Structure 1
């Protein structure tokens, strides 16, 4: 059941007797804008830490314990042209508890409190909490620089995309964080509550009408629906952009970014998934078996698709001296698929692994909500599991070759261990 609580705010109740818990998720979605990414990341930390009713982290955690050990958390992410702040709460199904317990009602009230009554005094977030979470975020940014694969991935993103918002990681930047104050951030949070597209999900053994009545009490105001597409497409380039950076590291990172025409649940999405599985997505893929196993050119080599931004990413960990060899053999693996040099057995194995991934995700209520939300962002409708599996089966060898022939290298980032 999906109902519109007010314009731009939708509730999706997904009854299921499969789980012993009830998962409640609130998704706040806004157009991707570099100026607001860091603000949203810090807000997610603040509302996860405390609120007006629960002014300390200890008080908030104590309430979660009272809710029979409910799990609560926030996260930020990017999907194409959107930035999404997610608030999640997972509680035990009260049907397994003694009579009289109303855990679900209390959990929804807790969510309402955290969202609409943050720890604010005189028009600004609590200064102590603000400064502490700001410092935590700085430490997190620094830890990314220490994780060389994450660092290389973000540097590749800067090269690949021209748009500043697309270049910026979903958790923002240290530079933008420095400009924020407890007052300016609270002013933005008020704007966010008024303007973001909001989707609320409840998945579990619940009564739809009872849930709807509870969420109708949330004081959301009507807001304009976002009309823009979720997909971001980077214009093609004449020349490949290659950047080399040198640091004192034992294992070099060589990452490549390719433009594709594969977008989430669009015409060639399923062929794109099979292509990626064959190219570098699974242990039987060409990158894994040839670059890593046969030639011993890489400690690891894999590929992944960003189907909201039309990007294929190849990640490798290599010896610094072997970059040119790795580049040549990765290019060769792509050409092999473009020319159809792969077996029906490999296609079938890839399809089975994709279908198994999908079926296994059914055991995770959080994964189900994420999939449904992505469906709704991309197509405005939910793709059934049966249709998804059937569409994977329909992919032909020619479909895979067609996808491969539309894959074009745009940027590469080489983090070398050789320091001059």
Structure 2
């Protein structure tokens, strides 16, 4: 279990999670805004530009040298999509000076570096560094293009794109290839200034720390316009009269069969715990129905699994199959979903699934990153779910709860990526 203290400081929401588990302290800054086609590509570029240089450390080499001086501190940036939100993450891990003896205040130094990245990035002539922006534009283009090389990721992307066509959730976290070229250093910096004013910003500090000390450091180094609102979006609910089927042909040997379902249940809903158990029995784990019946018994799939998107109300089934096995694989997947709806699962499956979910949650809070990700669900959602309530909620799920939540799960889209010369059947 972990305790979290939350306070509004300096225009951001500060989360302090005191723990003596680690010999490092972790700083994680998250910037959240609604997904928007007009700016998603610029937002995807910004964290990678920020991690290159600051006014005090005006090159990647200088910045990395300084991190080495902080006893090998690490700096990482990342992008994520949770529901219809676009989230930028900046993370610094630094040694706890208590274990080093007589060193400089490393956590304060790391906090100062994070503040510099945010408020004093390297700029020139009213924009970001042109050379850094051009370098990161090339890197972003490669990231977007790499999606087409990883066919499992590509199939996931295409399923979501077709299932949520015309809605924000259809957007890829890295933006659009054709938007990259039009971005310049001044326009990007102007958008970054807009983000500092309007993004919802959360700062997490995890380690052997005191709230008062951290609050003082944050108040000293961070000064953002006060935000009185918690930005939330209502996930787009697509309603179809018929299941749509998309077949795409490429030069692939292994077919990718991905199915998208509307669960009509999100993290905010009382039935979310039951949905987690439903998904666990259906396809979330190696003991699940999809893995056993599609992959093991029928030998139809190289992989077969399902996962839920907690804040969008979506479930995705993924299977890698021989193109000739399309109809048979679909038949067995549909049969497993129907069995779930009819309550055809054993008490042993319920117990085993609950145990695996519990173990996963407990493993997640063994790391600072995991604690932060679990906590951040409560920032995305309107419902606050403390960790102990999550564990208790899973334990309380009944067979009736599982069947009831399954009644709301509807197949929406079937996407099949198959070989060029073959037929899907």
- TM-score strictly above 0.5: yes
Residues 1:14 and 2:4 aligned together:
no
DSSP 3-state at the match of 1:409: strand
Tell me how far apart the structure 1 counterparts of residues 97 and 271 of structure 2 sit (CA, whole Å): 43
Report what 1:235 is aligned to.
238
Q: Alpha-carbon deviation of 1:6?
A: 4.4
Report what 1:334 is aligned to.
337
DSSP 3-state at the match of 1:143: helix
Residues 1:57 and 2:60 aligned together:
yes
Residue of structure 2 aligned with 1:413, choices 408, 415, 419: 415
Show the 5 A alignment for 1:114-125.
114-125=117-128
Contact 2:29 2:90 in 1 (8 A): yes
Tell me how far apart the structure 2 counterparts of residues 323 and 218 of structure 1 sit (CA, whole Å): 57
Q: Alpha-carbon deviation of 1:368?
A: 0.3
How many residues align? The count is 418
Contact 1:39 1:180 in 2 (8 A): yes
Tell me how far apart the structure 2 counterparts of residues 95 and 396 of structure 1 sit (CA, whole Å): 47
Q: 1:164 to 1:55 in 2, by over 3 A?
A: farther
Show the 5 A alignment for 1:120-131.
120-131=123-134
Tell me how far apart the structure 2 counterparts of residues 218 and 95 of structure 1 sit (CA, whole Å): 22
Structure 2: stretches of 5+ with no match in the other structure: none
Residue of structure 1 aligned with 2:147, choices 141, 144, 149: 144
Tell me how far apart the structure 2 counterparts of residues 116 and 305 of structure 1 sit (CA, whole Å): 36
- Deviations for 1:106-130, whole angstroms, at most 9, x for unmatched residues? 1111111111111110111111111
Contact 1:303 1:313 in 2 (8 A): yes
Show the 5 A alignment for 1:358-373.
358-373=361-376
Tell me how far apart the structure 2 counterparts of residues 328 and 416 of structure 1 sit (CA, whole Å): 17
Tell me how far apart the structure 1 counterparts of residues 218 and 234 of structure 2 sit (CA, whole Å): 30
Report what 2:89 is aligned to.
86
Report what 2:298 is aligned to.
295
Report what 2:252 is aligned to.
249
TM superposition score normalised by structure 1: 0.96
Report what 2:287 is aligned to.
284
Q: Alpha-carbon deviation of 1:37?
A: 1.1
Show the 5 A alignment for 1:4-403.
4-7=8-11, 9-379=12-382, 381=384, 383-403=385-405
Contact 1:292 1:300 in 2 (8 A): yes
TM superposition score normalised by structure 2: 0.95
Q: Alpha-carbon deviation of 1:380?
A: 5.5
Tell me how far apart the structure 2 counterparts of residues 265 and 391 of structure 1 sit (CA, whole Å): 13
Q: Is the deviation greater in 130-139 or in 79-88? A: 79-88
Contact 1:231 1:263 in 2 (8 A): no
Q: Alpha-carbon deviation of 1:355?
A: 0.1
Q: Alpha-carbon deviation of 1:223?
A: 4.3
Q: Alpha-carbon deviation of 1:32?
A: 1.6
Q: Alpha-carbon deviation of 1:228?
A: 4.7
Structure 1: stretches of 5+ with no match in the other structure: none
Q: Is the deviation greater in 298-307 or in 174-183? A: 174-183
DSSP 3-state at the match of 1:386: helix
Contact 2:33 2:231 in 1 (8 A): no
Contact 1:231 1:378 in 2 (8 A): no
Tell me how far apart the structure 2 counterparts of residues 263 and 385 of structure 1 sit (CA, whole Å): 17
- Deviations for 1:191-249, whole angstroms, at most 9, x for unmatched residues? 11111111111111012211111111234332444455344132311011111111111
DSSP 3-state at the match of 2:294: helix
Report what 2:6 is aligned to.
2
Q: 1:11 to 1:221 in 2, by over 3 A?
A: same
DSSP 3-state at the match of 2:212: helix
Tell me how far apart the structure 2 counterparts of residues 80 and 67 of structure 1 sit (CA, whole Å): 36
Q: Alpha-carbon deviation of 1:138?
A: 0.8
Q: Alpha-carbon deviation of 1:165?
A: 2.2
Contact 2:364 2:370 in 1 (8 A): yes
Q: Alpha-carbon deviation of 1:171?
A: 1.4
Tell me how far apart the structure 1 counterparts of residues 138 and 345 of structure 2 sit (CA, whole Å): 51
Structure 1 residue runs of 4 or more that deviate by more than 4 Å after TM superposition: none
DSSP 3-state at the match of 2:132: helix
Q: Alpha-carbon deviation of 1:149?
A: 0.5
DSSP 3-state at the match of 1:379: coil
Contact 1:79 1:230 in 2 (8 A): no
Contact 2:267 2:383 in 1 (8 A): no
